[in-house]
Structure 1
Amino acid sequence: MSRALRKWLIRAAGSFGALALIFWFLPKEAILEGFARLTPGLFLGVFAAFLAAHVAAACKWWLLMDRALPFGQALRAHFAGLAANLALPGAAGGDAVRAGLAHVALKDGPKVAAAAVGDRLIDMVGLAGLSLLGLAFLAKGGNPALAWTMAGVIIGGAILALFIFPAVARGLWGRFPALPAKGLALRLADAFGRLGRRPLLLLFALLFSAAIQSLLIWLSVRLALPVGVDVPLAAWFFAWPLAKIVSTLPISLGGLGVRESSLAALLVPFGASAPEVVASGLAWQGILYLTGILGALVLTFSGLRLTGAAKVIED
């Protein structure tokens, strides 16, 4: 058995186990009843808006690459990454394929790697900031000043890391030149240094990411309301980003089962019913998989290959 297949089976087992626990502890009838409340029109509308959000996400990544690729190629690579998420572990698998396809076209590994890592870091910081905002507004009486302060600390720390890494890498490999991966580390330091010299781009990308994630939260709310999930919007802003971060861990297939159980656990304390949260979460997972299938079609008709892209990243 190949190493890749073994890893895939472990992730598949994680998703199967999470789903099995969900349907063991929660009434299946309530989950199916929640599904029955969704209309095809609502589902397709959310799906269309979700696709638009990913076009915007591809644009953000393209800007971080300094528009080195034609936008059409960047968009195809982004949707190919979404297709990879059908089978690869979490968002990291899709990121690797997206970056691999960009590298095949650009032949500039450090630029692609810096943009990929920077894009993921910006998204994670944006998610953490949104979650803290939601938590602060959920506090008794609300505390907007605390919310903005906490979000600012996280955002500032992440941006500062972009400025610190180049100096640390150059100093470390300069003092200990025998350390492995010296060439890659120094090229990455140069690429991050170029990003660090463009603070307005980083700030724009962060605000753009927060706007995209906020749209996705709103779409999740729109999908969950007919199912019967009625909790404060601040609760969604607190719980949804955390569930998404958990779903990126390499323990499931694209977060299947893990995202739904995490979201239910986080929303139940605010008055949500776990079966209804799971029903809306599985409907959301359906949108993710439909988007992945669309990405696979884009990949097929573009003549691109996931295996070749993944090999570039592994090498």
Structure 2
Amino acid sequence: PAATWPVAVAAYLAAHLIGVAKWRLLVNAAGADLGTQRAAQAYYWGLFGNLFLPSIVGGDIVRAGVAMSHVRSRSALLLGSLVDRVQDVIGLGVLAGIGVLLAPRALDDESRRVFTMFAVILIGGVAAGIAVMRFFPVRLVPRKGRRLLVRVRAAIRATARQPRALAVSLLLGLALQSLLVALNWRLGLLMGIDIPFHVWLFVWPLAKMAGLMPITQGGIGVREAAQAALFAPFGVGAVAAVATGLVFEVVIITGGLVGGGIATMLRRQASNQARPAV
């Protein structure tokens, strides 16, 4: 249908409003004190930046850079942004795990062990990173880095004192990723990939994780290759799997361009509000 493309782009951008709320909640939990309008501006600049930088993490750098001059604590902004991305990966793993439980054919015994090992490594890595930042002796850090470490530790303590914010942000992340899975499932149905939704719950999150690797701009190509391999056990041909992935890439690219326009309008609006009345 002719309305599919604009509706898909609108749904993509609307779903990311949840992402704005999640990211702002986390950076403010760490002590950044970032306003709603500035958060939306930075977030949509990040979507725009994803189009030009390696992996989907590139947009995180743009997002943080735009917000840097509008926060009370830069270390809180960076820590909150890191927690935001880690929670995204955890959320993708949770959705993929649900998909595995609902789709027994998704993984053989060996693949299940690899999947479990990945989860253990991820959780262990996050725990180890937090422990190092929290307990590493400050006196062993070069003088120039001590102030930064102290600030990061203060941000970690501020975040740890707000477990409710962490839980709410994780739920928001799960909601966002679930909506994106549903959008891909719907696009797949329109292209003739008639498979259950729970299969998409397994395939799409893992394909998106593959897009985190800094190989191509915005993860383009990496996600599609992973998606084709993951769909194979369910009888979906590689051509169809890659095609539906590329259709969603069009949605991402268009959404990123529109997101850049939204960010520009928000910046102008903020400038007009800050301008003194004559």
TM-score normalised per structure 1: 0.74
Matched, 1:102 2:58: no
Q: CA deviation at 1:44?
A: 1.9
Q: CA deviation at 1:302?
A: 5.1
TM-score normalised per structure 2: 0.83
Counterpart residue number, 2:230: 266
Counterpart residue number, 1:49: 11
Hey, what's the Cα distance between the residues in 1 that align with 2:168 and 2:266?
A: 31
5+ residue gaps in structure 2? Answer: 106-114, 269-278
Counterpart residue number, 2:56: 91
Hey, what's the Cα distance between the residues in 1 that align with 2:2 and 2:183?
A: 15
SS class of match (2:231): helix
Q: Deviations over 1:232-264 (max 9, x none)?
A: 222211110010011121100111111111111
Over 3 Å counting, the alpha-carbon distance change for 1:60 and 1:303 in structure 2 is closer
Count of aligned positions: 256
Q: For structure 1, which segment, 173-182 or 188-197, has the greater mean C-alpha deviation from structure 2 after superposition?
A: 173-182
Hey, what's the Cα distance between the residues in 1 that align with 2:125 and 2:227?
A: 31
Hey, what's the Cα distance between the residues in 2 that align with 1:212 and 1:115?
A: 18
Hey, what's the Cα distance between the residues in 1 that align with 2:172 and 2:70?
A: 26
Hey, what's the Cα distance between the residues in 2 that align with 1:207 and 1:213?
A: 10
Identity of aligned residues (%): 34
Counterpart residue number, 1:82: 47
Question: Is the Cα contact below 8 Å between 1:252 and 1:258 reproduced in 2?
Answer: yes
In the alignment, residue 112 of structure 1 is paired with which amino acid? Answer: L
List aligned pairs for 1:111-190, cutoff 5 A.
Answer: 111-139=76-104, 158=123, 161=126, 165=129, 167-174=131-138, 176-178=140-142, 181-190=145-154
5+ residue gaps in structure 1? Answer: 1-38, 141-149, 305-315
Over 3 Å counting, the alpha-carbon distance change for 1:254 and 1:71 in structure 2 is same
Counterpart residue number, 1:242: 206
Question: Is the Cα contact below 8 Å between 2:134 and 2:156 reproduced in 1?
Answer: no
* 1:65 pairs with one of 17, 27, 41: 27
Counterpart residue number, 2:110: none
Hey, what's the Cα distance between the residues in 2 that align with 1:248 and 1:40?
A: 32
Q: CA deviation at 1:178?
A: 3.5
Q: CA deviation at 1:295?
A: 2.3
Hey, what's the Cα distance between the residues in 2 that align with 1:107 and 1:70?
A: 11
Question: Is the Cα contact below 8 Å between 2:51 and 2:256 reproduced in 1?
Answer: yes
Q: Deviations over 1:144-179 (max 9, x none)?
A: xxxxxx99x959x859946x7555334323352338
Hey, what's the Cα distance between the residues in 1 that align with 2:143 and 2:249?
A: 43
Over 3 Å counting, the alpha-carbon distance change for 1:167 and 1:256 in structure 2 is closer
Counterpart residue number, 1:35: none
SS class of match (2:56): helix
SS class of match (2:214): coil
Q: Point out 4+ residue stretches in structure 1 off by more than 6 angstroms.
A: none
Hey, what's the Cα distance between the residues in 2 that align with 1:274 and 1:166?
A: 40
